[in-house]
Amino acid sequence: MAQQRFSGLIPPMITPMTGRDRLDLVGLGRLVEHLISGGVHGLFTLGTTGEAPSLSHRLQEELVSRTVELAANRVPVLVGITDTSFVESVRLAEHAAKSGAKGLVLSTPYYFPAGQTELKYYVDQLIPELPLPVMLYNIPSLTKVWFEIQTLEELTVHPSVVGLKDSSGDLDYFQRAVGLKKLRPDWSIMIGPEALLARSLELGGDGGVAGGANLYPNLFVKLYELVRAGDPSWHGLQSQIEGLQGIYDIGKYASRFIKGTKCGASLLGICDDFMADPFHRFRAQDRQRVRDILCQVEASRVGWQLGCSVSPEQNGSLDRSDAARKSG
């Protein structure tokens, strides 16, 4: 199996929907074009931000096929295959390969937490069944299980395991994961939490899987480029990213970061903000709060373009505010 190294800015795509088990196909097309024109280095579908565990297997397959088709080999597409079922992970991986995806992303099985011995055995058994390179995905806040560093070290023996996406938010853990590149120089170690992107790159990381890039991909790509180049002007972009983080603080449940991102995409005219069951889209009051934050981000832009136009005189109303709600 020819291995591909994944690095740079690879956004975890939201899943545009217009109803239960129904993709927003027009919105998906807009989203893919928005991301690629923003300079991203790949696309990651069926991740946490994409609500993957809430989607039917049928919809997952349709989303993968459509995304690969829309990307048209301009950037690699990675597909999340995390599932409670070993067999379903293999099935989705095979579909991804047939569709033309270039890589897979695998977290720990959830619901029944596995010990590290069981987890390593699970991955050891699964990897030979998979037709594409695999990025491991550490997100213990949701799966309740870590890929512990010792386990990762033992998994470096698999040539088709090509790196790690870490969404733990623990920079000590991240730095220890970067240290595994001494064993596997070809590994990519990528960060999930976007507020930590710059620091992770300084620690030797290879890129980010930033949900906010669904809205402003060029902001995150530019930050990545500046940090890699050692240009201190990245600090100005970091403050804008920190401002954008406010959309993740609206609401009190863990779903708020997905709701905030989808609401923002709707306000920017990219796609509908319909949520997969059991979640609901933001109501008017929270939607206005997202609108206000996006307007502040847009008003603070310096030397880069967001892909949409907002001026302070508009009193918090985005130019393309609600067109996406009628798309698809």
Of 261, 263, 280, residue with least CA distance to 272:
263
Is residue 279 pLDDT above 90, yes or no? Answer: yes
Q: What percent of the chain has pLDDT over 90?
A: 88
At 310, the pLDDT band (50, 70, 90 cuts) reads very low
CATH architecture group of domain 8-231: Alpha-Beta Barrel (3.20)
Q: Among 40-54, 245-259, 303-317, which range has the highest average pLDDT?
A: 40-54
pTM of the predicted structure, to 2 decimals = 0.91
At 317, the pLDDT band (50, 70, 90 cuts) reads very low
Q: Higher-confidence residue: 265 or 319? A: 265
Find the range with the poorest average confidence among 107-121, 176-190, 294-308: 294-308
Residue 318 has a pLDDT of 55
Mean pLDDT of 21-37: 98
- CA quadruple 297, 299, 304, 306: dihedral, nearest 10: 60
Residue 11 has a pLDDT of 98
At 322, the pLDDT band (50, 70, 90 cuts) reads very low
Residue 252 has a pLDDT of 81
Q: Which residues participate in catalysis according to the annotation?
A: 137, 165
